[in-house]
Structure 1
Amino acid sequence: MITLDDLARWMTAPTEDERLEFKQAQNQFDTTKLVNYCCALANEGGGYLVLGVTDRPPRRVVNSAAFRNLETTKLLLLQYLRLRIELVELAHPDGRVVVFCVPSRPIGSPIATNDTYWMRSGESLVAMPPDHLQRIFAEGVPDFSSSTCAGATFADLSSTAISRFRQFWETRQPARVPRSDVQLLEDAELIDDGAVTYAALVLLGASRAIGRHLACAEIVFEYRNNESSIAYDQRVELRDAFLLIDDELWRLVNLRNTVHSFVDGLFRRDIPTFNERAFREAALNAVCHRDYRHQGSIFIKQSPSALEITSPGGFPPGITVENILTRQSPRNRRLAEAFGKCGLVERSGQGADLLFETAVREGKTPLDYRGSDVFQVRLTLHGEIEDENFLRYLEQATRDAGRSLSVWELRVLDAIRREHPIPAGTASSVRELVDLGLIERAGKKRLVLSRKYHQLIGTPGAYTRKAGLDRDTNKALLLKHLSVNPGAPLSDLCEVLPSLSADQVKTLLKELKRQGLAHSEGRTRAGRWFSTTGSNRT
């Protein structure tokens, strides 16, 4: 049940988000708009439409007289949207508030009114674009890899690939490996009542069988000595059981895989342009999560400093560039489970966290998905070390911490280094890094890499610029300003230390006052500050 406490929390939110919409509706609210807003909220995963509250901060209750008959309104919404929307009337001290509790649309089924699928864009409602619709419709599509392939038989599977699958299984679960190949594949759910699944074809299918039943299950490797060149220097088309070509793919990449020697004092570390574990994980992800209903092939394009992997179909439903490190949604679950059972990939993950961690630990650009859209996912693995100083710092930080840094801690460090916003959900990692002395707080909200980092790389000036001057230096600047400009208001003193908030400047002034170095006359905005240096006044 929605309460006044919930309303108070919503009203202090910085802005309307995907799940919350405020409207004044003091006298009335157009019924068509009501239906369309509820439609848009449902299409975006559900949320709340609040009538009787101003939409911009600071929000206030203005009393709404709209939709006095809640039961009639609920019935109308059910008739238009086929959704059971709950209505809650709140008696706020400043007036009546009506909350429409909108549930999410069904999986795979967007909701339309008057043949339009609505979504919100800023303060307006707009028709949902085709790529959004396609992602929603894809949610309801069954797992393609678990469906059986008409006409395919056990004879279409490679005995060599099955033997390798058995070896992988024995390594992980030696006591549970069935004796017969048929039983092995049935236990792995690659055969369903004797019928061969598409997952079995991708993983174990013979070349001719794949060409006949699933020709798009092909990986094309191209090498260009010049990344911008249209013509390739080498091209290899691989259409066979994935378990028979995964090593060949790495061999092709490794043929031209140069090694960078990184020296940190007495420590020496060789860093290959392309990390084998990262490449294998990226290739597995492309095979696991591509859309096999699209007839295109997976392309792996290598150049001296970059490796680009493009797979047909956009991201799986629910996955975006922004949340790929924290959400899992395998498009081909049966295939992903088979990879997991033989130890090639973790069933629960997208592998993006491993790719991110590897890139950051090697001082490279992490997770570059530029070029991805609703039709394809394009991942670029960059081979160049872009920041040796940061790499040197990570090596030292790992030694100082006495343990490896987690992927969440690496996310925080990388974001601070790039001066990007701190990722959501990393508060505990921030605290741990502060405790370890790897990062420091600069003011109430800012974080910077520690003084130790800038000393290590020889840029103490950059630390001072980012972290701000130390406390004593800040107070000295305030006193110097007051000696030249007696009677300065707080606003002027804030300009002396622009990197600090007004509250932080007030704290420094109070310290000066306690030390007998400054005093104030007047209160609030009319207050003025004076230096007591050389004066008998206290």
Structure 2
Amino acid sequence: MIERDIALIDELRNRPAEESCIEFKKDNTNPEVIGKLCSALSNKARIEGLDSAYLLWGIEDETHQISGTIFNPETKKVSNQLFQLWLAQRLKPSIPFSFRTVEHPDGKVVLLEIPATTSAPVEFNGTSYIRIGSATPKLSDYPEHFQKLIDNMRPYTWEQGVAKSFTTEEDVLQLIDYPSYFSLTGQRLPDNRTGIFEHLQADRLISKDISGRWNINNIGALLFATNLNKFESSLARKAVRFIAYDGDHRASTVIHRRDDIKGYAAGFEALVSYINGLLPRNEHIGAAFREVQPLFPELAIRELIANALIHQDLTIRGAGPQIELFRDRIEITNPGHPLVQVDRMIDLPPRSRNEMLASLMRRMGICEEQGSGLDKVIIHVELYQLPAPKFQADENSMQVILYGPRTFADMTSAERVRACYQHAVITYLSGSRMKNLSLCKRFGIKTKNAAQASQVIKTALNQEKIRVADPGHPRAGYIPWWA
């Protein structure tokens, strides 16, 4: 964006000479010097609480006057290798630096924008550097700077990153569904633009850029975008995707598909209503229902979608939450390995990578104020007498599978044991203990066939999913293995 780059160059020139995260040069293009400066400035920017540092060619260091430069980062080579590739290979961890050649009205300027490090001190050729005054020493020689860098990296989150920069007020109001923000957070919509921007900025949905423009932060776009496709593809790919099949596997014909374009909060109710409207209806004969109901509990769908949105790993590029509806089940998948052990998700407090996102969604009533809501999911599944949900994780994703109605006789041994364990957890959390009779009710087993429940309990005990609550009194019931 040429206009923003010109404005940025002028603002950087007007800053005090002692700014430690800005470096001016004329034509010094020594690759080793640039590499060390990238490391030093990235580390220094994080220490100073800045998003980026800058290295500029074509500007006099003392006067900040534009003199022009012959430096061309696009064609420069180091040992027959393109300079930018050479530099990227030597910076660890990788940082998305950006060289931009700007035809400023006063002359040619090359601008290098260096993002502040987020995960570890940036090294050049295996060594971390730091900027102190005009010097670029090794970071290891300054332990106090190293400690401050580590401290400042801890609170950094993806949510605070910039989704769109140098945005006019008019564009912010078009790109962000601000009426939904005020409605969902229970605040009165201000009658003037200043009030609207003060609230959006207070919740860090937007932040000030230069020249009176604004940044839309990642969390602002992700929650309240009117259209995620109007942002970079890396953000747009985090939109929720829904697919419905006419069979039991992915080779079946796709009968419905929806790629949500609205932000999570702005589009949540419409998404849940859309999915619930497509759910097959079935006559349940469980303990609580004797009427036609959706194949899956609507509350369970709502809670599991909210959990997928909140607990995903937003730093994984090119992936977002996905919901797949099959004839016999629904699968809800989100990017990122869970932070809580899979079989402890029902009882342990949730741990979220995305605290700002979780906090705002709690305020808006989209997710539980306390807990993960999974206990409610299990309770409703039991009321419908459905097979137990399956929670499974791999290195890069988390998935929850809700199954449609199936009789006890049709359940596999693994499904019965999983239901037994989850029932033990729910009864334990309610201050009670699982017993043979309560498990019979959960499965819809008649009392005369109680031996079937006893066999499931025996198998669960052997697999150490549950244990006897009081070994001295075997009739006292059963509790989860971890209790």
* CA deviation after TM superposition for structure 1 residue 337, in Å: 1.2
* CA deviation after TM superposition for structure 1 residue 224, in Å: 0.7
Question: What is the CA–CA distance in structure 2 between the aligned matches of 1:178 and 1:449, rounded to whole Å?
Answer: 57
Counterpart in the other structure of 1:322? 343
1:336 counterpart (346, 355, 358) = 358
Compared CA separation, residues 380 and 453, structure 1 to 2 (3 A):
closer
Compared CA separation, residues 282 and 156, structure 1 to 2 (3 A):
farther
SS at match of 1:374: coil
SS at match of 1:357: helix
The AA in structure 2 aligned to 1:164 is S
Counterpart in the other structure of 1:201? 221
* CA deviation after TM superposition for structure 1 residue 204, in Å: 1.0
2:244 counterpart (206, 223, 226) = 223
Compared CA separation, residues 340 and 235, structure 1 to 2 (3 A):
same
SS at match of 2:398: strand
Question: What is the CA–CA distance in structure 1 between the aligned matches of 2:220 and 2:189, rounded to whole Å?
Answer: 17
Question: What is the CA–CA distance in structure 2 between the aligned matches of 1:168 and 1:140, rounded to whole Å?
Answer: 30
Per-residue deviation, residues 481-515 of structure 1 (Å, max 9, x unmatched):
xxxxxxxxxxxxxxxxxxxx99999xxxxxxxxxx
SS at match of 1:384: coil
Question: What is the CA–CA distance in structure 1 between the aligned matches of 2:424 and 2:236, rounded to whole Å?
Answer: 41
2:178 counterpart (162, 167, 171) = 162
Per-residue deviation, residues 366-392 of structure 1 (Å, max 9, x unmatched):
33123x21111111122325459xxxx
Matches within 5 A, 1:284-363: 284-294=306-316, 295-315=318-338, 318-325=339-346, 326-363=348-385
* CA deviation after TM superposition for structure 1 residue 264, in Å: 7.2
Compared CA separation, residues 301 and 181, structure 1 to 2 (3 A):
same
* CA deviation after TM superposition for structure 1 residue 321, in Å: 0.5
* CA deviation after TM superposition for structure 1 residue 275, in Å: 2.4
Question: What is the CA–CA distance in structure 2 between the aligned matches of 1:299 and 1:308, rounded to whole Å?
Answer: 8
2:167 is equivalent to residue 147 of structure 1: no
* CA deviation after TM superposition for structure 1 residue 334, in Å: 0.8
Mapped contact 1:340–1:346 kept (Cα < 8 A): yes
Question: What is the CA–CA distance in structure 1 between the aligned matches of 2:287 and 2:421, rounded to whole Å?
Answer: 30
TM-score, normalised relative to structure 1: 0.46
Mapped contact 1:210–1:240 kept (Cα < 8 A): no
Counterpart in the other structure of 1:532? none
Compared CA separation, residues 257 and 152, structure 1 to 2 (3 A):
farther
Per-residue deviation, residues 41-81 of structure 1 (Å, max 9, x unmatched):
xxxxxxxxxxxxxxxxxxxxxxxxxxxxxxxxxxxxxxxxx
* CA deviation after TM superposition for structure 1 residue 200, in Å: 0.6
Q: How many pairs were matched up?
A: 294
* CA deviation after TM superposition for structure 1 residue 365, in Å: 2.7
Matches within 5 A, 1:75-474: 142-149=156-163, 151=165, 153=167, 155-156=171-172, 158=174, 161-170=177-186, 180-193=195-208, 195-207=215-227, 208-211=229-232, 214-230=235-251, 231-263=253-285, 268-294=290-316, 295-315=318-338, 318-325=339-346, 326-370=348-392, 372-384=393-405, 386=407, 418-420=419-421, 429=430, 432-433=432-433, 440=435, 448-449=436-437, 457-460=445-448, 462-463=450-451, 466=454
Question: What is the CA–CA distance in structure 2 between the aligned matches of 1:301 and 1:345, rounded to whole Å?
Answer: 21
SS at match of 2:379: helix
The AA in structure 2 aligned to 1:307 is I
Mapped contact 1:147–1:197 kept (Cα < 8 A): yes
Per-residue deviation, residues 298-349 of structure 1 (Å, max 9, x unmatched):
221111221111112211xx31202212132111111111111222112543
Question: What is the CA–CA distance in structure 2 between the aligned matches of 1:458 and 1:162, rounded to whole Å?
Answer: 55
> What 5-or-longer segments of structure 1 have no aligned partner?
1-107, 110-138, 389-413, 434-438, 441-447, 468-500, 506-538
SS at match of 1:277: helix
Question: What is the CA–CA distance in structure 1 between the aligned matches of 2:341 and 2:288, rounded to whole Å?
Answer: 42
Mapped contact 1:203–1:241 kept (Cα < 8 A): yes
* CA deviation after TM superposition for structure 1 residue 197, in Å: 2.1
Question: What is the CA–CA distance in structure 1 between the aligned matches of 2:453 and 2:377, rounded to whole Å?
Answer: 32
Compared CA separation, residues 504 and 269, structure 1 to 2 (3 A):
closer
SS at match of 2:308: helix
Compared CA separation, residues 178 and 189, structure 1 to 2 (3 A):
farther
Mapped contact 1:146–1:198 kept (Cα < 8 A): yes
Percent identity among equivalent residues? 18
Per-residue deviation, residues 253-278 of structure 1 (Å, max 9, x unmatched):
23432222335799734431122222
The AA in structure 2 aligned to 1:218 is A
Larger Rg: 1
* CA deviation after TM superposition for structure 1 residue 351, in Å: 3.0
TM-score, normalised relative to structure 2: 0.50
SS at match of 1:344: coil
Compared CA separation, residues 163 and 225, structure 1 to 2 (3 A):
same
Mapped contact 2:247–2:326 kept (Cα < 8 A): yes
CA RMSD of aligned residues (A): 4.4
* CA deviation after TM superposition for structure 1 residue 191, in Å: 2.9
